[in-house]
Amino acid sequence: MPVPAARQLLIRKRQFLVFAGLCTRVSRQGEGFAFPPLKPEQALFGPVLGEVVPAGSLVTHVLE
């Protein structure tokens, strides 16, 4: 597990929201949609519930 530097936090992802718009982006049949499909090396994006390690506090944030 990485060690956070000074003034940084380590957040463990607990839950990730898979929403309809994301489903169309990860689909291999993404042709004809408003946005192109994600490539395998591209990161997912969307709301996340995370846990601050080692404090155990829950936080929400958005992956971008």
Q: With bands split at pLDDT 50, 70 and 90, how would you rate the model's confidence at 5? A: very high
Question: What is the rounded distance in angstroms from the CA atom of residue 34 to the CA atom of residue 48?
Answer: 24
Instruction: Please state, rounded to an integer, the average pLDDT across all residues of the chain.
Output: 86
What pLDDT score does 51 carry? 95
- Res 35 pLDDT > 90: no
What pLDDT score does 31 carry? 66
